[in-house]
Amino acid sequence: MECPNCAGHALRVREENGRWSASLAYRVSCPECDKVITLPEHVKAGDTVSCCGQTYKLTFEFGAFAAEKM
């Protein structure tokens, strides 16, 4: 879910045991077309994403993901 008051961040909203919570959904931009890709919940550095017919390796530094050509 995108939040208009959250500086362009996407949030994951869930209900557990009758309580609602929200957490930040990590995003990364495609190096080719700049399309913003929302990453899966349990993504980690070294995982891959695909866009523009190419596969990119994810890196994580300074609290943010980046997609790098393989």
- For residue 56, what pLDDT is reported? 96
How many domains, the chain? 1
Residue 4 falls within a domain, yes or no? no
Residue 36 falls within a domain, yes or no? yes
User: Which residues lie closer than 8 Å to 43 by C-beta, 6 or more apart?
Assistant: 26, 58, 65
Over residues 56-67, the pLDDT tens digits come to 999 999 988 999
- For residue 10, what pLDDT is reported? 80
Over residues 6-58, the pLDDT tens digits come to 666 788 888 989 999 988 889 999 999 989 999 998 999 999 999 999 999 99
User: What is the C-alpha to C-alpha distance for residues 22 and 31, in angstroms, rounded to an integer?
Assistant: 28
- For residue 70, what pLDDT is reported? 86
Reply yes or no on whether the pLDDT at 3 is more than 70.
Answer: no
DSSP class of residue 4 equals: T
In terms of residue numbers, what domain contains 59?
27-69
Residue 37 falls within a domain, yes or no? yes
Residue 2 falls within a domain, yes or no? no
Residue 51 falls within a domain, yes or no? yes
